[in-house]
């Protein structure tokens, strides 16, 4: 399970590097299973700014990682965010075994739930998925708009939700990375992301599906470690 989380993190670190400006190539979309339409007049920047009014959010992420060396791995991530707190529950299969990791991030440190002790334990060096969630948030994506050219901007409907699709490519030290993002127009948060990475040692793709959003207030007790 830890390997799955690290792999996801590596991918998102590469994406972050791309925000400072790398060689880019336009890519084309091939999403035949969802309806598409020409972009409306609302800009992507204005859509992303809608997250400024969100004070509390819960959502789930299904991640499917395909690697030529390691095969296919899956993970399900549940995220509760209410600044300055974040809670994440990560579950999946690793070598046929089911694994669950629960981490709570607080101003006083990061805590991991220890099932053997039946309590949360301060874990400064914990491997965490939410550390890389910043690369999907609106501020980072707005930085992307300012530093890289966005290709194939179009309006998409996914499960009745209007979304804006954009894609871009990065070339980093011999690695070619193609990224597609689907941003929910109503709230400025991601609905899907797809990463395709071609490296000398192996090829890798990751599908992220963001779902079950809730913007209701999250009780502070959710982030309790006592």
153-165 confidence digits (pLDDT tens): 789 999 999 999 9
Yes or no: say if 182 and 193 are a contact pair by the CB < 8 Å rule.
yes
What is the predicted pLDDT for the residue at 211? 95
Count other C-beta atoms under 10 Å from residue 189's C-beta. Answer: 21
Residue with the larger pLDDT of the pair 205 and 28: 205
Give mean pLDDT, residues 176-199.
88
What is the predicted pLDDT for the residue at 94? 59
CATH number at residue 109: 2.50.20
121-131 confidence digits (pLDDT tens): 998 776 555 55
Domain that holds residue 185: 2-223
What is the predicted pLDDT for the residue at 159? 92
Residue with the larger pLDDT of the pair 67 and 108: 108
At residue 221 the predicted structure's pLDDT band, cuts being 50, 70 and 90, is very high
Radius of gyration of the CA atoms of the chain, in A: 18
Residue 49 has pLDDT above 60, yes or no: yes
Residue 33 has pLDDT above 50, yes or no: no
Residue with the larger pLDDT of the pair 131 and 93: 93
Pair of tokens at residue 130: 């939410």
At residue 65 the predicted structure's pLDDT band, cuts being 50, 70 and 90, is confident
Helix (H) or strand (E) holding 34: none
Phi, psi of 6 (to 5 degrees): -65, -40
Separation CA 28–CA 180 (nearest Å): 9
Q: Is 76 helix (H, G, I), strand (E, B) or coil?
A: strand
- The total domain count for the chain is 1
Separation CA 51–CA 210 (nearest Å): 15
């Amino acid at each position: 399970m830890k390997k799955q989380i690290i792999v996801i993190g590596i991918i998102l670190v590469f994406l972050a590097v791309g925000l400072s400006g790398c060689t880019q190539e336009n890519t084309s979309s091939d999403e035949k299973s969802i309806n598409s339409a020409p972009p409306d007049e609302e800009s992507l920047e204005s859509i992303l700014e809608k997250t400024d009014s969100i004070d509390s959010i819960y959502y789930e992420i299904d991640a499917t990682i395909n690697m030529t060396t390691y095969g296919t791995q899956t993970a399900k991530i549940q995220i509760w965010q209410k600044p300055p707190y974040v809670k994440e529950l990560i579950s999946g299969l690793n070598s046929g075994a089911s694994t669950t990791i629960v981490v709570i991030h607080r101003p006083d440190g990061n805590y991991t739930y220890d099932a053997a002790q039946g309590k949360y334990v301060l874990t400064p060096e914990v491997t965490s998925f939410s550390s890389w969630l910043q690369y999907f948030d609106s501020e980072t994506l707005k930085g992307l708009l300012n530093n890289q050219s966005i290709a194939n901007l179009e309006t998409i409907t996914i499960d009745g939700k209007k979304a804006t699709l954009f894609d871009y490519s990065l070339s980093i030290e011999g690695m070619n990375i193609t990224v597609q993002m689907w941003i929910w127009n109503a709230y400025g948060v991601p609905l899907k992301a797809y990463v395709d990475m071609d490296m000398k040692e192996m090829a890798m793709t990751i599908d992220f599906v963001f779902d079950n959003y809730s913007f209701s207030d999250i009780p502070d007790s959710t982030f309790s470690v006592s």
